Amino acid sequence: IRRIGVLTSGGDCAGLNAVIRAVTHRARRAYGWKVFGILDGTMGLMDRPLRYRELDSEMFSGFDILRAGGTVLGTVNKGDPFAFPMADGSKTDRSLDFVDGFHSLELDALVVVGGDGSMRILKKLCDKGSIGMVGVPKTIDNDVHGTEYAVGFSTATNVVTEALDRLQATAASHHRVMILEVMGRDAGHIAVSAGIAGGADVILIPEIPYTLEGVAKRIREVQQEGRSHALIVVAEGVLTPEGERATVAYAGGQTRYGGISQYLSDRIAQDTGTETRVTILGHVQRGGIPSMRDRLLASAFGVHAVDLVAARKFGRMVAWQDRGVVDVPLEEVCIGPRSLDPNGTLVHAARGLGIYVGEIGA
Ligand code: F6P
């Protein structure tokens, strides 16, 4: 091994730069390799001329990117290189551009920082080009298989918890029910963790069916206990009780956010006669200074990823399990998003606190 590449793929999150820094430090200091940062995810190797920059430790001597949110390498959600979207709406296979790009940069291995979708696509690309790949899990949604924590989750849940702290004060002043919509397309990890930490009364997640009566009952209970306000956390991936996706159309065709929280707000106001307000946190959850926990995870992951490359243990992802860093085969990771366990300790704890988390045994 003499030259390695590192790229960030899929949605950004806090802590990506700390991974890039750790990979660079370890590869250069311990092994004397050259490190190339590939720009804008897979695009940097698909575009001609190739887009990349050599990373050196001096880059981190002034303002240290350890502290910075986002990714200095950039990232794009442009879909699958095997079915790359063209301007005319058609799809084309650009996987060979990626493979050729990797080889013309004379790289010996690639460290991919990504979520479950990116990991699946990158593994397919690397298999196609016989490229040695090591994965590092990142996603605020924390829904990557094989690891208890992914980079970005800690910072995002801190943001959500702080939002609940702020909403509680204004909810109490106005005797309102506040509905906070958080990210989590497929899984309720953010909603449950931050909902418990932020003192929510209701937490709705894609994994557990709920009823509007259940939600209204909990709000009435809270009111009977003498509290005139309540906090509801809902993951964006939650459907209506009838199983429909409630969407709001924005200019540009974005319909992902804002549907379910507004739907709940209208129904709860109707059913309980209480004033409601909606907050959609959106990408605020992805930006900002990484938490101590994300910096620690990112740093330990980056070092371990480089050590795996040095040992030529390819086709694996670094992971956090049982108080330490381990690595798992990518086959075990690339099986779709990891759901939150409806029978797990967190849902049990939430219910133990009186929080309505959907129907029991549903
Ligand atoms: O996968 C992380 C995530 O934050 C999801 O929860 C969310 O739906 C999505 O990214 C939004 O991504 P973007 O707006 O960048 O396409």
| Ligand 1 surroundings by CB, under 6 angstroms | 11, 77, 115, 139-141, 183-185, 236, 256, 286
Q: Quickly state the pLDDT bin for 61 (edges 50, 70, 90).
A: confident
Q: Answer whether 121's CB lies under 8 Å from 80's CB.
A: yes
| Distance between Cα 281 and ligand 1 center (Å) | 12
Q: Is 141 a catalytic residue?
A: yes
Per-residue model confidence as pLDDT tens digits over 341-352: 999 999 999 999
Q: Residue 149: which of 138, 157, 161, 158 has the closest Cα? A: 138
| Distance between Cα 307 and ligand 1 center (Å) | 30
Per-residue model confidence as pLDDT tens digits over 219-264: 999 999 999 999 999 999 999 999 988 876 656 665 556 689 999 9
**What are the C-alpha distances in Å from 127 to residues 31, 50, 51, 241, 279?**
25, 21, 22, 42, 43
* Vertex 108 angle, CA 103 and 110, to 5°: 90
pTM above 0.90, yes or no: yes
| Distance between Cα 304 and ligand 1 center (Å) | 27
Which atom of ligand 1 is the closest one to the Cα of 184? 6
Please report, in range form, the residues annotated as the binding site for substrate.
139-141, 176, 183-185, 236, 277, 283-286
- Residue 294 in tokens: 């994300």
Q: Residue 139: which of 264, 273, 317, 343 has the closest Cα? A: 317
Substitution candidate for ligand 1 out of 16, 140, 182, 250 with most atoms within 8 A of CB: 140
CA distance 52 to 336: 29
CA distance 17 to 60: 10
ipTM for the complex?
0.96
Residues 6+ apart with CB under 8 A from 173: none
Backbone angles phi, psi at 21, to 5 degrees: -65, -45
Tally Cβ neighbours within 10 Å of residue 278.
Answer: 19
With H, G, I as helix, E, B as strand and everything else as coil, classify residue 54: strand
Q: Has residue 288 got a pLDDT over 90?
A: yes
Name 197's bridge partners: none
pLDDT at residue 258 in the model: 62
Nearest CA to ligand 1 atom 10: 11
Q: Has residue 109 got a pLDDT over 70?
A: yes
Per-residue model confidence as pLDDT tens digits over 135-191: 999 999 999 999 999 999 999 999 999 999 999 999 999 999 999 999 999 999 999
Rounded to the nearest integer, the mean pLDDT of the chain is 95
**What are the C-alpha distances in Å from 32 to residues 70, 73, 109?**
27, 22, 14
Find the helix packing angle between 153-174 and 292-310, rounded to 10°: 160
Integer-rounded Cα radius of gyration of the chain = 22
| Distance between Cα 280 and ligand 1 center (Å) | 13
Q: Has residue 216 got a pLDDT over 70?
A: yes
pLDDT at residue 111 in the model: 98
Q: Which of 141, 201, 294, 327 is catalytic?
A: 141
